[in-house]
Every structure is written in C-alpha cells, then in structure tokens.
C-alpha cells in the first residue's frame, strides 16, 4: 500500500483517478497548513503539490518514505530539487497541462492592457462615461517580444500572429529552427529584443540568469511607452525598478498575473498603479487546465509507484543517487 499526500487543492478529476487505484491510500483534505503537512509527511510515499506547498529540506526530513513529489503544474520553484536528489526523491511536473490556458491568459492581458479594459470597466462602474480617457493602442503592426520561448512562449506566439503582430523571441536554449518553423526569429541578445519590442511578454523560468531580468538597466534599453505582460513568474522583475519606470511613463503599462511573493506584500511598489492591471496568478485557472493538471499528476504518481516509469523528471541526477542505494 502506498500513502499519497495531497496538501494543496487538487481538482476532483485527479483525486478520482487516484481513488480508483487499489494500491493507494489518499490523504487529500484540501489545502493543508505547513504544520499539518509536516505532521502527515512521515507516512507519505508520494506527494502531489501545486504552488502553495514548499518542498524543502525540512519537509523532506519529515518524509523518510517519500519516493516521488509531483508538481501539478509547470513551475518547480517551490521544490528544492537538489535536496530531493540528496533524499532520493524523484521530482516531476506536468509541463503540458496548462500551456494553452496560460498562453490564452497572456493574450487576454495583452488585449486588456492595450485597450485599458479593466480601467474602463471600473470607470463605468463608478458612474462615468469617459470615452476620451481610454485611448487604446492597436496590436496590429506592433512588435511583440517574447522573453522565453518554451511551451507557453510558443503558444503565445502562435496565437498572437492572428493579430498581425510582428514577433521576435529571446531564448538562449532554443534552436533557431524552432522559431523559424513558427515564422519568427530568435535574437541572440536580450537587448536586441528590448530595443525593438512595443509589447514584451515574459515566459522564462526563474534562474540565476533570469532573476530580476526586468530591472533599471534592461528597462533603459526598452522603447518609451513599452507594455509589459508577465504571466510567468514575479521574480523575473525587479519591483522597485519597474514601478519607477511605470510612474515615469518609460514603461507605458504592465499586466501582472504573478508576483515575487504571492499573495503580494502590501508594500509591493507595483501595487495600486493606475497603468497596471492585476490578476491573482490565474494563468492555469481554467477547468480544462486543472482537469489536465490533476489527471496528469495522478498518472505520474501511479506510473512511478506502480510501473516504475518516470516522465517529466526535473532532477534527473536523482537516478544516480537511486542507482547507488
């Protein structure tokens, strides 16, 4: 018998799949506190988490039987992969499940930003009829710069083409053919992209090279009035630098779905700015994406524990450790 601990809210389709597997005992009471998660960890053979649970050394030390941790979603920034490897725990994610939803959300933010839709909506709700205040910008003929050209960046590129946007992308890990196949070009230096883009959309993972990539120095390379969409990770942005650029008008507007800390700290300087629109990390929040995320995470756990099959492993070096033990 394997004990499966689900300390975050996982959708019902995934839970139903897990419940059908006779070798599994499921503990999924809904979103669990850190204390409750630590208390339940000693029995767990597998964990399925979303973004609310952090898998760090402390949690791993409480979980001596843990074999796999599956991130139901894409970002594994809440998993200490090196610590998982040391503990012989295979860390996996479900990278395909929410690509389309996240890409659609980025496009929705782009349109809402270009036409100030949330601000216009708020104005009408306040009883005003202010047609002059909300002069928008057409996407047609503008240049969209995609920073990060993985699954979501590519899905955004495909969708953005129908608006007549010209597109360029920066991603040092993607071969030119991939971009050419989608009819756009990759630039070798991020500055080249910043200098050309009228709209920037961020789709990179956070690592030492991309953390706070949007900062005073890179903003200085951007066109005046550029619009920035971030449906990837808040840590790609230096909050103070972007806030200053939004206040000065150097950056014309931003649409933010993600924040360095979530929910954002009350003193986050990006909050409350009139030329910023906000959503609370909704990229993957569609029924379709959550069904896919839940069922793919359930599949990953059953494949690993029952069939000894591991897909989408984020710490492949763990197999060296497991091979040695």
Residue 161 vs 285, nearer CB to ligand MLT: 285
Active site annotation includes 128: no
To the nearest whole angstrom, how small is the minimum distance from the Cβ of residue 321 to ligand MLT?
25
Segment interacting with ligand MLT (CB under 6 A) among 69-77, 84-92, 158-166, 197-205: 69-77
* Full strand arrangement of the beta sheet holding 251-256: 185-186, 166-170, 143-147, 199-202, 226-230, 251-256, 276-278
Segment interacting with ligand MLT (CB under 6 A) among 24-32, 72-80, 245-253, 313-321: 72-80
Active site annotation includes 195: no
Residues 145, 147, 153, 156, CA torsion sign: negative
Residue from 68, 74, 92, 256 that binds ligand MLT (CB under 6 A)?
Answer: 74
Strand partners, 201: 146, 229
Q: Name the residue with the smallest CB distance to ligand MLT.
A: 73
Binding of ligand MLT by 50 (CB under 6 A): yes
Binding to ligand MLT (CB under 6 A) within 95-134 occurs at: 98
- In degrees, rounded to 5, the angle at the alpha carbon of residue 137 between the alpha carbons of residues 132 and 139 is 155
Residues 257-286: x where in contact with ligand MLT by CB under 6 A, - otherwise, as a string: --------------------------xx--
To the nearest whole angstrom, how small is the minimum distance from the Cβ of residue 70 to ligand MLT?
12
Q: Answer for the pair 194, 169: CB distance below 8 angstroms, yes or no.
A: no
- Catalytic residue of the set 262, 288, 309, 316: 262
Active site annotation includes 233: yes
Strands (E), the chain: 2-5, 24-27, 46-49, 68-71, 90-93, 143-147, 166-170, 185-186, 199-202, 226-230, 251-256, 276-278
Residue 37 vs 101, nearer CB to ligand MLT: 101
Q: Answer for the pair 96, 75: CB distance below 8 angstroms, yes or no.
A: no
Binding to ligand MLT (CB under 6 A) within 165-194 occurs at: none
Q: Answer for the pair 169, 179: CB distance below 8 angstroms, yes or no.
A: yes
Distances in whole angstroms, Cα of residue 10 to Cα of each of 17, 28, 82, 192, 201? 11, 8, 25, 41, 28
To the nearest whole angstrom, how small is the minimum distance from the Cβ of residue 72 to ligand MLT?
7
Where does this chain bind ligand MLT (CB under 6 A)? 50-51, 73-75, 98, 283-284
User: Mind telling me the catalytic residues?
Assistant: 233, 262, 281
């Amino acid at each position: 018998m394997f004990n499966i601990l689900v300390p975050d809210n996982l959708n019902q389709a995934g839970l139903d799949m897990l419940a059908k597997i006779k070798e599994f005992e499921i503990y999924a009471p809904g979103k669990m506190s850190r204390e409750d998660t630590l208390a339940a960890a000693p029995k767990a053979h597998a964990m399925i988490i979303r973004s609310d649970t952090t898998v760090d050394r402390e949690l791993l030390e409480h979980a001596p039987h843990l074999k796999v941790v599956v991130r139901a979603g894409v970002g594994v920034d809440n998993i200490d992969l090196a610590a998982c490897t040391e503990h012989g725990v295979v860390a996996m994610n479900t990278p395909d499940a929410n690509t389309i939803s996240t890409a659609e959300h980025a496009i929705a933010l782009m349109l809402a930003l270009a036409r100030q839709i949330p601000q216009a909506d708020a104005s009408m709700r306040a009883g005003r009829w202010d047609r002059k205040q909300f002069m928008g910008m057409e996407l047609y003929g503008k240049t969209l710069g995609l920073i990060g050209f993985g699954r979501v960046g590519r899905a955004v590129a495909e969708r953005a083409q129908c608006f007549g946007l010209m597109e360029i992308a920066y991603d040092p890990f993607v071969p030119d053919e991939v971009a050419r196949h989608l009819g756009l070009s990759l630039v070798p230096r991020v500055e080249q992209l910043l200098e050309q883009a009228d709209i920037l959309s961020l789709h990179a993972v956070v690592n030492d090279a991309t953390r706070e990539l949007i900062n005073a120095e890179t903003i200085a390379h951007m066109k005046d009035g550029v619009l920035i969409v971030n449906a990837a990770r808040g840590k790609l942005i230096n909050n103070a630098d972007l806030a200053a650029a939004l206040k000065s008008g150097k950056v014309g507007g931003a649409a933010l779905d993600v924040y360095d800390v979530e929910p954002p700290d009350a003193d986050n300087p990006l909050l409350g700015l009139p030329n910023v629109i906000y959503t609370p990390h909704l990229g993957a929040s569609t029924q379709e994406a959550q069904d896919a995320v839940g069922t793919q995470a359930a599949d990953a756990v059953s494949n690993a524990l029952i069939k000894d099959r591991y897909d989408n492993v984020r710490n492949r070096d763990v197999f060296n450790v497991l091979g040695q033990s």
